[in-house]
């Protein structure tokens, strides 16, 4: 059986009414094992666009996700994609037909979150 590789993009919301958002991180799910990576550069940009309490709350959520992915489940990620708050949003889990290799993790991150400019 081929491994099931899924991802969910994590967005910081700037304006709920206009659906302005910035992708700040990505959750990877590989056969139920979850990992998370976010862009500090994107979080720094959000810091300039949000007021201090909003940014502090969003940063706490991001740091909590980074430290507690072992407690998350694909079902919870799908729940969060349907019922997020007005500062953070998760895309529904998307299954892709790629092997869960470090190269593919990097490709997804650079495609949807942040790619360093050389």
Q: What's the pLDDT tens digit per position in 59-112? A: 998 988 888 766 677 887 777 777 766 788 889 999 998 888 999 999 999 999
The domain tally of the chain equals 1
Q: CA–CA separation, 65 vs 10, rounded Å?
A: 10
- Say if 42 falls within a structural domain: yes
Note down the domain range covering 80. 5-112
Structure tokens at 21: 């958002």
pLDDT of residue 105: 94
- The answer to whether position 118 is within a domain reads no
* Structural domain contains residue 105: yes
Q: Is residue 88 part of a domain?
A: yes
**CB neighbour class for 31 (10 Å; exposed up to 12, middle 13-18, buried from 19):** exposed
Token pair belonging to 86: 């007005």
Span 24-44, pLDDT tens digits = 999 998 887 889 999 999 999
Q: Is there a domain that residue 117 lies in? A: no
Q: Helix, strand or coil for residue 30?
A: strand
């Amino acid at each position: 059986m081929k491994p099931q590789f899924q991802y969910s993009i994590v967005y910081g919301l700037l304006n709920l009414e206009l659906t302005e958002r910035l992708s700040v991180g990505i959750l990877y799910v590989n056969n139920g094992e979850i990992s998370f990576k976010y862009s500090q550069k994107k979080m720094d940009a959000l810091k300039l666009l949000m007021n201090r309490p909003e940014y502090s709350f969003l940063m706490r959520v991001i740091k909590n996700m980074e430290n507690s992915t072992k407690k998350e489940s694909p079902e919870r990620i799908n729940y969060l994609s349907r019922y997020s708050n007005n500062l953070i949003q998760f895309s529904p889990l998307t299954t892709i037909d790629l092997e869960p290799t470090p190269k593919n993790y990097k490709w997804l991150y650079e495609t949807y979150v942040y790619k360093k400019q050389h």
